[in-house]
Amino acid sequence: MIRLDEERPDDFWEVEALYDLCFAPGRTLLSSYRLREGVDPVRPLCLLARDADGTLAAVIRQWPVKVGGADVLLLGPVAVHPTRQGEGLGGLVILESLRRAAALGWTRELLVGDEPYYRRFGFTKLEGVEMPPPTNPERVLGLELVEGAWAGVAGEVQRWDGATV
């Protein structure tokens, strides 16, 4: 049995340890991390999946950013413990976080990732949205939580506070 909970401040180091386990060293040097520096995540969308004994199995975080002055959610990172991969836990936390984002009134999502994986959730390649370098533009994906939400939204992705990185 899997239990989903919002991440609490005291979960921080446990979540960071899972990210360290799942991602390459130097993950915090990626452009996505520069957009997150000094900005609080959207707490109701940061979820933990724990199994019956309380072991952390999967996590997701979401962050506010701006694109062309429009409010956008930056999804990620998403991580699933290596011993739990292939069980659908990544999809579980993604879908629930997207559902909660829509319920909170967010209209569009952005991520940097593999389109073949994220297509199942409705993400497609974005044209005209520029992540800070050295991001591969083919990996810049978006999702409309409200139909037409990405129409006319283009430009550099900026920190929530409007700073460029």
Which residue segment(s) compose the domain that 122 sits in?
Answer: 3-159
Work out the number of other CB atoms within 10 angstroms of the CB of residue 65.
21
Return the structure tokens found at 88. Answer: 């659908």
pLDDT at 162: 67
Is 55 domain-assigned? yes
Average pLDDT over residues 16-28: 87
Residue 84 domain-assigned (yes or no): yes
> CATH number for the domain including 148?
3.40.630.30
End-to-end, the C-alpha distance of the chain in Å comes to 41
Domain membership flag for residue 64: yes
Percent of the chain with pLDDT over 70: 98
Q: Is 154 among the domain residues? A: yes
Residue 165 falls inside a structural domain = no
Q: What is the pLDDT of residues 112-137, one digit of tens each?
A: 999 999 999 999 999 999 999 889 99
Domain count, the chain: 1
Region 80-105: mean pLDDT is 97
Pull the structure tokens for residue 110.
């952005």
Query: What distance in Å separates the CA atoms of residue 152 and residue 131, rounded to the nearest whole number?
Result: 17
Phi, psi torsion values for 15, nearest 5 degrees: -65, -45
**Rg of the Cα trace of the chain?**
15
CB 80 within 8 Å of CB 57? yes
Residue 164 lies in a domain: no
pLDDT in tens, 32-87: 888 998 899 999 999 999 999 999 999 999 999 999 999 999 999 999 999 999 99
Would the pLDDT of 20 be above 80? yes
What DSSP character marks residue 67?
E
Is the model's pLDDT at 164 over the cut of 70? no
- Name the pLDDT band for 161 (thresholds 50, 70, 90): confident
Residue 89 lies in a domain: yes
Residue 98 lies in a domain: yes
